[in-house]
Amino acid sequence: MIAKRLGGSIRVGAHKGDLRNIETGKYASNDTIDNFNRLMEIPDKYLDEMNVLRTFVMQMAENCHVDFTLKDGDDVQLGKYKGRVVSTPGHSKGSVCFYLEKENVLFSGDHIMKHITPNALVMLDDNHELPVRLSQKEYFDSIAKVEKLSPTTIYPAHGEIMSDLDAITKNYRNCFLERQHSIISILKSGTHSVYNLARKLFPDLNKDLLPLEIDLAVSEVFTHLQVLEQKSIVELKIEKTLQVSLS
């Protein structure tokens, strides 16, 4: 909207990982998304609602052409301030923060927020049945990267300004470990689908926002399972759907 209103007076930049989403509104093809959701064993009645929701969300934002790409370490002029691009994949493939070294200020986007633990969303790939990239691992690698900068002030895309990065990231890691332990505990009862795990891990999903909440819950569980599989704690096996068990 801003780019269209200002016409050719501004240029839009983004990391190459998010180009497709910004320019087309899709981070993967509809077939890839639908196939992934079916592998997770999401019931058909919710799949239809999730497809409607996806179409609605796409209509809420206007796509725009990206004029140039940003990469880690690039210097950018932000008004009278000089910033540096910090690539922080995890919440999305192309998530970036902007660091003002002289002021020791970080603009964190959706990467760091105080009031919630940001979602490390699944990174679907049209060329693979299941995501190859490990969103949770990438997210916490990105957190460690920001911690090395030690910004005194953080401006997020949502919520209040932050100055207590260490306390916030400690809470993130604690929540991550608690959910990991909860998933392992659920799996002690036997094999589960990812959807079933998500409903057990998050039993109080908001009914008014159920399609969205199922999407986010399944994404979170799957990205945790990727880490647990890498540690040889769980086994993922595709039968008709993806089935999860303890190793």
For the chain, what are the domain ranges? 2-246
As a whole number of angstroms, the distance between CA 51 and CA 60 comes to: 15
The pLDDT of residue 170 is above 90: yes
Is CATH 3.60.15 the classification given to domain 2-246? yes
As a whole number of angstroms, the distance between CA 228 and CA 201 comes to: 15
Nearest to 187 by CA among 175, 196, 177, 178: 196
Nearest to 150 by CA among 163, 136, 137, 161: 163
Instruction: Tell me the torsion sign for CA atoms 47, 48, 51, 56.
Output: negative
As a whole number of angstroms, the distance between CA 87 and CA 224 comes to: 22
pLDDT attached to residue 8: 65
pLDDT, mean of residues 11-19: 93
pTM over the 0.85 mark: yes
For residue 150, what are its two tokens?
A: 């030690």
pLDDT attached to residue 59: 72
CB 141 within 8 A of CB 185: no
* Mean pLDDT for the chain overall: 93
pLDDT attached to residue 74: 97
The pLDDT of residue 58 is above 80: no
Cα distances (angstroms) measured from residue 128 to each of 113, 124, 188, 236 = 31, 8, 29, 15
Each residue's pLDDT tens digit, 103-134: 999 999 999 998 888 889 999 999 999 999 99
The pLDDT of residue 152 is above 90: yes
Each residue's pLDDT tens digit, 80-106: 999 999 999 999 999 999 999 999 999
The pLDDT of residue 180 is above 70: yes
The pLDDT of residue 222 is above 80: yes
φ and ψ at 84, to 5 degrees?
A: -125, 135
The pLDDT of residue 207 is above 90: no
Mapped onto helix, strand or coil, the DSSP state of residue 236 is: strand
